[in-house]
Amino acid sequence: MAEKIKIPRNFKLLDELEKGEKGQNSDGVTVGLAIHDDITLTHWNGTIFGPPGTTFDNRIYALSLSCSDRYPQIPPSLRFNSKINLPYIDQTTGVANPSKCPGIADWKEADTMDTVLYKIRRDLCTPNNRKLPQPAENSTYQ
């Protein structure tokens, strides 16, 4: 049986950073370092562009992601900075419930932060979420 090779955390994160800087993210999402000289590669910013034909249309959602020392064995933590009404986002803090958030609840070691944001964006289009009333545009969590 072939042994699975584990890619070191920093190599994986540097690859994600390079793809983000070159604009090679999935459609409708972006990921990049929160602090450009963060040598620990821990704190990241994400953006999700609201999908057309939903209550999220024409909105830009800013998020903060944090990759622990155990990334990618465990998923990043995720917090929306922009207010959003979704069943797996705490409406007071913007923190994602890791057991229910798409991309985090079903995390695999091969996944990336881009994967997480893409799965959330795709979830915005589901029948249960696409018509949810949303907070005022440009409102943020404190």
27 or 101: which carries more pLDDT confidence? 101
Position 36, amino acid? H
Q: Could you tell me if residue 110 is inside a domain?
A: yes
Q: Which of 101, 118, 107, 120 is nearest to 20 (CA)?
A: 118
34 in a structural domain: yes
Instruction: Report residue 107 as tokens.
Output: 């995390």
pLDDT higher than threshold 70 for residue 2: no
Cβ atoms of 86 and 122 within 8 Å: the answer is: no
pLDDT in tens, 102-127: 999 999 999 999 999 999 999 999 99
The answer as to whether 106 is a domain residue is: yes
When divided into structural domains, the chain yields a total of 1
- The CATH code of the domain that includes 25 is 3.10.110.10
Torsion from C-alpha of 84, 46, 33, 27, nearest 10 degrees: -170
Residue 4's pLDDT is 74
Q: Is residue 129 part of a domain?
A: no
Would the pLDDT of 38 be above 80? yes
In a domain, 32, yes or no: yes
For residues 30 and 113, give the distance between their C-alpha atoms in angstroms, rounded to a whole number: 9
Interval 31-42 mean pLDDT: 96
> Is there a domain that residue 58 lies in?
yes
Among the listed residues 110, 98, 122, the one whose alpha carbon sits nearest the alpha carbon of residue 26: 122
- Find out whether 6 and 70 touch, Cβ atoms under 8 Å: no
Summarised one tens digit per residue, pLDDT across range 54-96 is 999 999 999 999 999 999 999 999 999 999 999 999 999 999 9
Distance CA 43, CA 134 (A): 27
Full residue range of the structural domain in which residue 25 is found:
9-123
User: Considering the domain boundaries, does residue 138 fall inside one?
Assistant: no
Please, what is the end-to-end C-alpha distance for the chain in angstroms?
50
Q: How confident is the model at residue 5 (pLDDT cuts 50, 70, 90)?
A: confident
Residue 71 placed within a domain: yes
